[in-house]
């Protein structure tokens, strides 16, 4: 019995030691995971794509959440503080397009304006630009606009354009459209170009006032040159009432027919004057003879002087009875 008790105790002792080892292994793994989490928070890395610029903000428990630095485009594994955040924005050419293929709005979307003669027109617009990457300017943009709209994300960027670009485009076009007649904008290229230029000027005045700064530059801006103006283009303004276009086309067809008739009348007058001149020169009988000869109704031949000419006499045909 003593031996059996000793054997049982030894077995229990071995099981106890095995359990302790297992618990130690599990505990070690938990500590390793915790250590890795702490290390990843201590050694925080930031990277940016070649077409995006980063804004580094403090976010640790021992410092304020303030702007710290600019992270240039194309940076890889830049060490930042624990808990710090990186917000990135595009630096390549961007666009905001209203209507048509590739639009940032619905394909059928248009800006509606009213012309000087009270015709409602639909206008499609394309704006091309780049983000101003001056450190102070882009920091201000992020803190005033970017954080509010989440513009550092794709969805937030699109929402930002819709919130700030679209209303100013609508206002700019509406403000200058009343200076033009609808048919000037529809089929007069010079007047349409002038309208586009006036609308672009108005838009570049309204946008900075709406967003609070010169945050957007022209499409050729690279960060080292002048900011430049945004590219603002419009397609042909078209009446929303298609019957107006049908009426214009009918009027143009009538005008073309009128011009064709006037040209024909001019040609007849020229021919009539020529006839009058020939009658005055040849007399009425002479003119009729000349006309008959020219038309081939009268044939004649030139007979040489003192020449012998044989003229065939047609043989009469008899009609059988």
Answer yes or no: do 214 and 136 share one domain: yes
pLDDT of residue 154: 96
- The string of pLDDT tens digits covering residues 243-284 is 887 766 666 566 666 766 777 777 777 777 877 887 787 777
The encoded tokens of residue 181 equal: 């007649």
pTM higher than 0.75 = no
pLDDT of residue 161: 96
**Residue in 211, 221, 213 with CA at minimum distance from that of residue 165:** 211
Query: Does residue 275 fall inside a structural domain?
Result: yes
pLDDT of residue 12: 60
pLDDT of residue 48: 93
Name the DSSP class of 82.
T
Q: How confident is the model at residue 176 (pLDDT cuts 50, 70, 90)?
A: very high
Query: Does residue 225 fall inside a structural domain?
Result: yes
Number of domains observed in the structure of the chain: 3
Query: Does residue 41 fall inside a structural domain?
Result: yes
Answer yes or no: do 146 and 191 share one domain: yes
Q: How confident is the model at residue 234 (pLDDT cuts 50, 70, 90)?
A: very high
Answer yes or no: do 119 and 163 share one domain: yes
Residues 6+ positions from 75 with CB-CB distance below 8 Å: 46, 47, 48, 54
Q: How confident is the model at residue 145 (pLDDT cuts 50, 70, 90)?
A: very high
pLDDT of residue 182: 93
Percent of the chain at pLDDT above 90? 51
Answer yes or no: do 129 and 260 share one domain: no
Burial 245-266 (b: 16+ CB within 10 A, else e): eeeeeeeeeeeeeeeeeeeeee
The encoded tokens of residue 128 equal: 């091309």
**Residue 58 sits in which domain range?**
33-87
Q: Is the pLDDT of residue 13 over 80?
A: no
Query: Does residue 230 fall inside a structural domain?
Result: yes
98-107, 134-143, 212-221, 274-283: least confident range = 274-283
pLDDT of residue 96: 96
Answer yes or no: do 64 and 167 share one domain: no
Query: Does residue 153 fall inside a structural domain?
Result: yes
Query: Does residue 24 fall inside a structural domain?
Result: no
Q: How confident is the model at residue 139 (pLDDT cuts 50, 70, 90)?
A: very high
Question: 78 near 43, Cβ under 8 Å?
Answer: no
Mean pLDDT, the chain, whole residue set: 83
Q: How confident is the model at residue 132 (pLDDT cuts 50, 70, 90)?
A: very high
pLDDT, average across residues 145-172: 96
Q: Is the pLDDT of residue 40 over 90?
A: no
Query: Does residue 247 fall inside a structural domain?
Result: no
The encoded tokens of residue 11 equal: 């077995």
Three-state SS for 114?
strand
pLDDT, average across residues 299-308: 62
Q: Is the pLDDT of residue 17 over 60?
A: no
Query: Does residue 298 fall inside a structural domain?
Result: no
Q: Is the pLDDT of residue 33 over 70?
A: no
Answer yes or no: do 112 and 223 share one domain: yes
Q: How far apart are CA 107 and CA 105, in angstroms?
A: 6
Question: 263 near 275, Cβ under 8 Å?
Answer: no
Answer yes or no: do 155 and 232 share one domain: yes
CATH number, domain of 184, equals 3.30.479.30
């Amino acid at each position: 019995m003593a031996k059996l008790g000793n054997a049982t105790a030894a077995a229990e002792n071995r099981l106890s030691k095995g359990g302790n080892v297992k618990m130690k292994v599990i505990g070690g793994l938990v500590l390793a995971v915790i250590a890795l989490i702490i290390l990843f928070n201590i050694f925080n890395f930031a990277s940016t794509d070649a077409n995006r610029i980063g804004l580094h903000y403090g976010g640790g428990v021992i410092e304020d959440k303030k702007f710290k630095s600019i992270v240039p485009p194309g940076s890889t594994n830049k060490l930042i503080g624990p808990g710090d955040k990186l917000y990135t924005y595009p630096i390549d050419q961007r666009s905001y397009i209203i209507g048509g293929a590739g639009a940032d709005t619905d394909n059928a979307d248009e800006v509606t304006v009213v012309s000087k003669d009270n015709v409602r027109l639909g206008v499609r617009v394309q704006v091309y630009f780049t983000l101003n990457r001056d450190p102070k300017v882009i920091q201000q943009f992020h803190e005033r606009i970017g954080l509010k709209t989440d513009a550092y994300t794709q969805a937030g960027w699109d929402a930002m354009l819709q919130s700030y670009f679209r209303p100013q485009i609508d206002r700019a076009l509406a403000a200058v459209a009343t200076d033009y007649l609808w048919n000037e904008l529809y089929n007069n290229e010079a007047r349409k170009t002038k309208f586009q230029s006036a609308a672009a000027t108005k838009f570049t005045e309204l946008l900075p006032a709406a967003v609070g700064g010169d945050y957007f530059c022209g499409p050729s801006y690279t960060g080292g040159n002048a900011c430049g103006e945004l590219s603002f283009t419009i397609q042909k303004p078209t009446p929303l009432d298609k019957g107006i276009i049908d009426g214009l086309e009918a009027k143009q067809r009538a005008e073309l027919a009128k011009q064709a008739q006037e040209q024909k009348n001019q040609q007849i007058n020229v021919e009539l004057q020529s006839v009058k001149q020939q009658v005055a020169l040849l007399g009425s009988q002479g003119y009729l003879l000349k006309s008959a000869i020219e038309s081939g109704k009268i044939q004649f031949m030139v007979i040489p002087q003192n020449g012998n000419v044989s003229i065939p006499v047609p043989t009469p045909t008899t009609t059988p009875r």
